[in-house]
């Protein structure tokens, strides 16, 4: 299990994430955010338990993404496949997601919701993941955003598969950061 807690003047978050079957408990007081977190957990196959409160919706959404991204990075097996690529149709929406959980953050969207586009960028940065989302079709913002979370979840599920090998020509990468001040 990976546990991430984040306390700021704006938010208080406790996030537990573990490989499992996609069971989620999300309590953020933002019903759409809770819905997207349950979708992400279900499709990724990761069990998620998150309790979060915040002063503003923007701060809450951003900080929840930071915590989930950090938890994903912390839970990734050393010999994970690392890459995932999925396309999801949902009613009028068609969204493609490609992800590399290899330690280099980069995000390219956008989603038709600046709040959830920011969620994806914050997730990508904290997961140290390259994340590309392409909205191929769709006019209903709810459907497009939900299809993006489903595609991300399935791509992460694929990336978490234990391949038995390190997928990098560099081999296993070790890095230590210390405050020696």
SS3 of the chain: the string is CEEEEEECCCEEEEEEEEECCCCEEEECCCHHHHHHHHHHHHHHCEEEEEEEEECCHHHHHHHHHHHHHHHHHHHCCCCECCEEEEEEEECCEEEEEEEECCCCCEEECCCCCHHHHHHHHHHHHHHCCEEEEEEEECCCHHHHHHHHHHHHHHHHHHHCCECCCCCCCCCCCCCCCCCCC
Question: 176 in a domain, yes or no?
Answer: no
What is residue 164's predicted lDDT score, i.e. its pLDDT?
A: 82
pLDDT tens digits, 117-172 = 999 999 999 999 999 999 999 999 999 999 999 999 999 999 999 888 776 666 65
What is residue 176's predicted lDDT score, i.e. its pLDDT?
A: 63
pLDDT tens digits, 69-107 = 999 999 999 899 999 999 999 999 999 999 999 999 999
How many degrees, rounded to 5, is the angle at CA 123 between CA 117 and CA 125? 105
Question: 72 in a domain, yes or no?
Answer: yes
Mean predicted confidence (pLDDT) in 106-112 = 98
Give the chain's domain count. Answer: 1
Question: 92 in a domain, yes or no?
Answer: yes
Question: 175 in a domain, yes or no?
Answer: no
Radius of gyration of the chain (CA): 16
CATH number, domain containing residue 121 = 3.30.230.40
Structure tokens at 178: 């210390």
Question: 126 in a domain, yes or no?
Answer: yes
Q: Tell me if 19 sits within 8 A of 130, measured CB to CB.
A: no
Question: 168 in a domain, yes or no?
Answer: no
Residue 171 zone, left/alpha/beta (φ > 0; ψ -120 to 50; rest): left
Question: 28 in a domain, yes or no?
Answer: yes
Separation of CA 39 from chain center: 11
- pTM exceeds cut of 0.85: yes
Question: 167 in a domain, yes or no?
Answer: no
Q: Which domain holds residue 25?
A: 2-159
The pair phi, psi for residue 172, each rounded to 5°, is -70, 135
């Amino acid at each position: 299990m990976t546990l991430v807690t984040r306390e700021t003047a704006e938010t208080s978050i406790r996030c537990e994430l573990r490989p499992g079957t996609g069971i989620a408990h999300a309590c953020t007081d933002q019903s759409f955010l809770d819905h997207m977190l349950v979708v992400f957990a279900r499709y990724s196959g990761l069990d998620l338990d998150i309790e979060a409160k915040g002063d503003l919706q923007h701060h809450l959404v951003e900080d929840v993404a930071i915590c989930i991204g950090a938890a994903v990075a912390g839970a990734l097996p050393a010999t994970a496949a690392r890459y995932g690529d999925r396309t999801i149709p949902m009613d009028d929406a068609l969204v493609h997601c490609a992800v590399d959980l290899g330690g280099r953050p980069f995000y390219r969207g956008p989603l038709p919701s600046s709040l959830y586009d920011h969620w994806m960028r914050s997730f990508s940065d904290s997961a140290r993941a390259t994340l590309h989302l392409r909205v191929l079709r769709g006019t209903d913002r709810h459907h497009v955003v939900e299809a993006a979370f489903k595609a991300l979840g399935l791509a992460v599920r694929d990336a978490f598969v234990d391949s038995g090998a390190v997928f990098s020509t560099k081999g296993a990468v070790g890095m230590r950061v210390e405050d020696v001040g």
